[in-house]
């Protein structure tokens, strides 16, 4: 795991967007795993600007989102399909047929989960998986006690997760109780993982995920097992990291990051 600390939330989002852009330019056929939530909105805004102003080309890219609520149609403004269309897909030159999310309205949810895993496999697996982290330390909707080898499946959402997502709905009772999510094992199968966390509210869980013991209670701790994982945080989210000075020194001195500084 590589931890990168940037001065501000804007700097952190900009770095993540530039890492994604570099990967896409190197491989126009990139299979990109995507995440939703307020943390990602600034990343997608930067990528949309790069597409418009710098000819960043999404035309051959294929995407797979981490999750989708059960019971919401793609047109529901609270669905993740709607979120992605609004914040990214509708603002770049990507083929909508190459954008994939689980179908939360599927009649057979177990079959839908198996189909989603098969789609990822048919595309050759995910090259770069973008991740956020919930306050309970979950990746996607892999709530506490999610198995390390779990695959795409339906999960009941923990109360803390529903509370965290409630401001995005008109009323707290409207937050779905279940979602389809990539499993921890599915996420760890990605060739590279890139996690973004911003703000003081994430400082405690970031420290546990990066420097704490690996535990099924906090699915993000499994990223310590990934051979190619980068965690990008702003100074506020890095506040509780014991190795902060070391992480800053690496970014300031490694030649690989020269073009990003």
Q: Kindly give, in sequence order, each residue whose CB lies less than 8 Å from that of residue 107, ignoring residues fewer than 6 positions away.
A: none
Mean pLDDT (whole number) for 181-197: 98
What's the pLDDT tens digit per position in 39-60? 999 999 999 999 999 999 999 9
User: Which residues partner with 179 through β-bridges?
Assistant: 69, 155
Higher pLDDT, 261 or 216: 216
Question: How many angstroms from the chain centroid is the CA of residue 97?
Answer: 21
The Cα–Cα gap between 4 and 1 comes to 10
- pLDDT band of residue 125 (cuts 50, 70, 90) is very high
Rounded (to 5) percent helix, strand, coil in the chain: 45, 15, 40
User: Which residues partner with 197 through β-bridges?
Assistant: 233
Eight-class DSSP state of 1: -
Tokens of 36: 């939703």
Mean pLDDT (whole number) for 11-27: 98
Pairing relationship of beta strands 99-100 and 62-65 according to DSSP bridges: parallel
pLDDT for residue 89 is more than 80: yes
Look at residue 192 in the predicted model and tell me its pLDDT. 98
CB 125 within 8 Å of CB 189: yes
Which of these, 4, 55, 37, 44, lies nearest to 20 by C-alpha position? 44
pTM summary value: 0.96
Pairing relationship of beta strands 2-6 and 229-234 according to DSSP bridges: parallel
Where do the domains of the chain lie, and which CATH numbers do they carry? 2-254 (3.40.50.1360)
Look at residue 93 in the predicted model and tell me its pLDDT. 98
Look at residue 216 in the predicted model and tell me its pLDDT. 97
| Helix or strand run (H / E) with residue 129 | strand 128-131
Tokens of 1: 């795991």
User: Which residues partner with 36 through β-bridges?
Assistant: none
For 67-104, the three-class secondary structure string (H helix, E strand, C coil) is EEECCCCCCCCCCHHHHHHHHCHHHCCCCHHHEECCCC
Look at residue 261 in the predicted model and tell me its pLDDT. 75
């Amino acid at each position: 795991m590589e931890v990168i600390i940037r001065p501000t939330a804007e700097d952190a989002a900009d770095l993540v967007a530039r890492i994604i852009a570099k990967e896409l330019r190197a491989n126009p056929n990139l299979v990109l795993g995507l995440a939703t939530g307020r943390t990602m909105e600034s990343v997608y805004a930067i990528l949309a600007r790069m597409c418009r102003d710098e000819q960043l080309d999404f035309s051959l890219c294929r995407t797979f989102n981490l999750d989708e609520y059960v019971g919401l149609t793609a047109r529901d403004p609270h669905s993740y399909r709607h979120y992605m269309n609004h914040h990214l897909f509708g603002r770049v030159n990507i083929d909508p047929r190459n954008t994939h999310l689980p179908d939360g309205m599927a009649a057979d949810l177990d079959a839908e989960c198996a189909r989603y895993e098969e789609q990822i496999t048919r595309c050759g697996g995910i090259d770069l998986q973008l991740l956020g982290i919930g306050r309970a330390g979950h990746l996607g909707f892999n709530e506490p006690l999610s198995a390390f080898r779990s695959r795409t499946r339906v999960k009941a959402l923990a109360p803390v997760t529903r509370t965290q997502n409630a401001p995005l709905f008109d009323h707290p009772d409207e937050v779905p109780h279940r979602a389809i999510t990539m499993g921890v094992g599915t996420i760890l199968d990605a060739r590279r993982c890139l996690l973004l966390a911003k703000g003081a509210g994430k400082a405690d869980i970031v420290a546990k995920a990066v420097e704490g013991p690996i535990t099924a209670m906090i699915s993000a701790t499994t990223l310590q097992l990934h051979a190619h994982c980068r965690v990008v945080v702003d100074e506020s989210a890095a506040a509780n990291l014991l190795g902060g000075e070391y992480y800053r020194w690496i970014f300031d001195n490694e030649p690989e990051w020269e073009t990003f500084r």
